[in-house]
Amino acid sequence: MLQKEFEALTGKKVTAAEYAEIEKVYMAIDNMDKEEFCAAWNEQKFGYIVGELVKSVQGLTKWRDHWKKQMDEAEEKAEDAAFVLLNGANEHNDEDMKEAAIALVGMKTAVRIDVENGFKLSEAERDYLLENL
């Protein structure tokens, strides 16, 4: 919505700075069109506007929580795969498998898995430990 539209729909003149703040509120609400927003604003139904903001925030929170869960599950699967790679690297002295595990979960997590399980550390892992102690 433009400032001119807001002023036309509410019959109120606002400064550019005032409209900038109004627009932030309007843009944060997902499920209210400009006519409904301006009518609520004009009637000073700020509780209603805040309620709609809360609904928008709740929707975003659900979205964030869903994707956080997905990310947590993906990280867990990656760590499980890294364990298999690091175990194989340890049993077969295979640097390619170790490098693949490090690429998958990062040096910190790979070192933690190796230390927790008593696996041999590569030179790169030893260097990482010395640099970070």
Q: Say how far apart CA 45 and CA 10 lie, in whole Å.
A: 13
Spell out the residues 6+ positions from residue 28 whose beta carbon is closer than 8 angstroms to its own: 53, 56
Helices vs. strands in the chain: H and E counts, helices first: 7, 0
- How far apart are alpha carbons 21 and 19 in whole angstroms? 5
Tell me which of 30-39, 60-69, 101-110 is least confident. Answer: 30-39
**Average per-residue pLDDT for the chain:** 95
Question: 66-104: per-residue pLDDT in tens?
Answer: 999 999 999 999 999 999 999 999 999 999 999 999 999
pLDDT tens sequence across 10-22: 999 999 999 999 9
Residues in Cβ contact with 63 at an 8 Å cutoff, skipping those fewer than 6 apart: none
